[in-house]
Amino acid sequence: MEGTFHDSQVQQAQQAQENLIQVILANASSAAKISNILCDHSDDKILKADEIICGLIYRLMTPMTDQEITDSMTEAKELMYEESSDEEEEDDDDDDEMVGGSNIVDDIDDLNIKRKVKVNHCNCEICSQVRVCLLNFNEYLPKDELGDKFKASIIETCETHNRII
């Protein structure tokens, strides 16, 4: 009986880990969608570090709607259990310059200069909310431990790459 109890605990721990991974993937996927929107609404239409940072900050500070949660969790589950094929891996080599329809520019040289995170001038709801989030980020208190870790990782990444929020 003791072995069965231990196996049950191991299964519960594995399920909890999988659920946490799925939540993190869903959050990252949703943040990437926001980053792509910011890119699409920018003047140069190029996905850069600033759009990615803004997408992460927006996702941290702006709760998802029920539909966004459902969609993001479904996408995360599909990613977790997706089987890759050799054909997909070969296709990935051709997609280095385009992700989600956005161009990617190597802006690593730009990361050596300390500066504020740039935002676009679009006045749509998402772009406007991103600017509000940036203004309030430093005072924002996440609602849970995962949010605390997420905020700390954004801060650390920005400090490492010379970005000021």
d(CA 8, CA 14): 10
pLDDT value of residue 109: 54
pLDDT value of residue 7: 83
Report if pTM > 0.75. yes
Residue 42: CB atoms within 10 Å: 20
d(CA 27, CA 23): 6
Residue 42 clears pLDDT 90, i.e. is over it: yes
pLDDT, tens digit, 9 for 90 and up, residues 47-71: 999 999 999 999 999 999 999 999 9
Residue 151 clears pLDDT 90, i.e. is over it: yes
Q: Do 3 and 45 form a contact (C-beta atoms < 8 A)?
A: no
Structural domain boundaries in the chain: 2-81+98-164
